[in-house]
Structure 1
Amino acid sequence: MEIIDISRDILKTPVYPGDPEGYVDNIKSIRAGDSCNLNAIYTCLHTATHVDAPLHFIDGATANEGMPLDLFIGECRVVETPPGPITGAFAEENFPWSGCERLLIKGNGFSHLMESSAYYIADSDIKLIGTDSQTIGIHGQNENVHKALLSAEIPIIEGLDLANVEPGTYFLMAQPLKVQGLEAAPLRAVLVKEHIFWSGSR
């Protein structure tokens, strides 16, 4: 069994344009004579690998704690796409629709959904979408892409690190941090290759 870390470092990943930079506040230090090391971290919720909840673009919609955890744990498909806009026609022809509930898009940070592909996904059986780009939608349509997916209660994982992941089927574990009432949360995402799990029942 191989475990692949597909998360980015919160403090080393460039932030989305306009978002605040993260930093560490060193509260106590053993080297400074304190009894322990103690740090606090400040970060925008949309930095590095994170999930957008429906509340991100839809006022009054589902927040972090309302997203079912089983959406973030289970079999997923990784699909590689060329850089540039992902049209509805491309999605229809190249995305795995049959039996796919979790889809991760590997576009080397340069593939983005257009409205047409977002609506196609929203009407499918997909329950979770992820991307290695900083944001899921193409410039000029990003808000509508988010709204199309989030209004269908499809959480969006952004900022994945899929550089060392081949297209194929994996087991995904990507639980968000439990931060009540907010529109996004950091997460630690891993893929398990050649997975076999036992329930313990006989």
Structure 2
Amino acid sequence: MELIDVTRELFSSQPYPGDPVPRRDIVRRMDLGDACNLSGFYACCHSATHLDAPLHFIPDGDSVDQIDLSLCIGPCTVIAAEGILTGADIDRLAPPQGGRLLLKGGGEAYLTQSAAFALAQSGIVLIGTDAQSIGAPNDEEAPHKELLGAGIPILEGLNLTLAEPGGYRLIAFPLLMSGAEASPVRAVLIRD
């Protein structure tokens, strides 16, 4: 069994423009005579590799603690896709019915609203990208609303450098954060 960690490191990842910069504060240090090492941290819910819940763009949508965790684990397909994908591109790619789809595009794989609609109609249960957002910089809202409105969680900020296109099993559980619209995750692909 092969495990591929597809998570970006929380404190060294470039934050999305306008988002707060994550930081870690050292509270206690053994090398300074404390009995233990202890630290706290601050981060935006959308820092590094994270999962968007419907509440991110849907006013009465589920928060991250209300997401069915079965959506975050299971069969997954990684595809190479760079640029802004349209509905026609999704129809051509034929995403897996009832599975999870991750877009590997060197941080440049985005969806249009028509692509998000096609994915929602295809029956996928989770979509992910190695870009900081599933929506292109000039059109982020529409793809988010289309997917999240259909109850499809979005993984963003993946590190798919070591993941070749193909089939895997994905594990990407969000932190249990009541009422939050998103959460950092530790995302792992498994290949037998």
Flag whether TM exceeds 0.5 (same fold): yes
Structure 2 alignment gaps of length 5 or more: none
Q: What secondary structure is seen at the aligned counterpart in 2 of 1:121?
A: helix
Q: What secondary structure is seen at the aligned counterpart in 2 of 1:92?
A: helix
Alignment match, 2:17? 17
For residues 99 and 36 of structure 2, what CA distance do their matches in structure 1 show? 45
1:124-135 to 2 correspondences below 5 Å: 124-135=122-133
CA displacement 1:85-139 (0-9 Å, x = unmatched): 1111111101324x34211111110111011101111122101001000000112
State, as a whole percentage, how many aligned pairs show the same letter. 46
Q: CA RMSD in A?
A: 1.0
Of 123, 127, 143 in structure 1, the residue corresponding to residue 141 of structure 2 is 143
Q: What secondary structure is seen at the aligned counterpart in 2 of 1:31?
A: helix
Alignment match, 2:160? 162
Alignment match, 1:105? 103
Q: What secondary structure is seen at the aligned counterpart in 2 of 1:55?
A: helix
Look at both structures and tell me which one has the larger radius of gyration over its CA atoms. 1
Contact 1:77–1:100 (8 Å) recurs in 2: no
Offset at residue 60 of structure 1 (A):
2.0
TM-score normalized by structure 1? 0.92
1:80-99 to 2 correspondences below 5 Å: 80-81=80-81, 83-97=82-96, 99=97
The list of structure 1 runs, each at least 4 consecutive aligned residues, that deviate by more than 2 angstroms after superposition, is: none
Alignment match, 1:61? 61
Alignment match, 2:31? 31
1:87/1:110 CA distance change after superposition, 3 Å: same
Contact 1:49–1:158 (8 Å) recurs in 2: yes
TM-score normalized by structure 2? 0.97
Offset at residue 59 of structure 1 (A):
1.3
Alignment match, 2:180? 182
Contact 1:79–1:95 (8 Å) recurs in 2: no
* Equivalent AA in structure 2 for residue 139 of structure 1: P
CA displacement 1:29-57 (0-9 Å, x = unmatched): 11122111100011111011000000001
For residues 65 and 84 of structure 1, what CA distance do their matches in structure 2 show? 32
For residues 38 and 139 of structure 1, what CA distance do their matches in structure 2 show? 38
Structure 1 alignment gaps of length 5 or more: 195-202
* Equivalent AA in structure 2 for residue 106 of structure 1: K
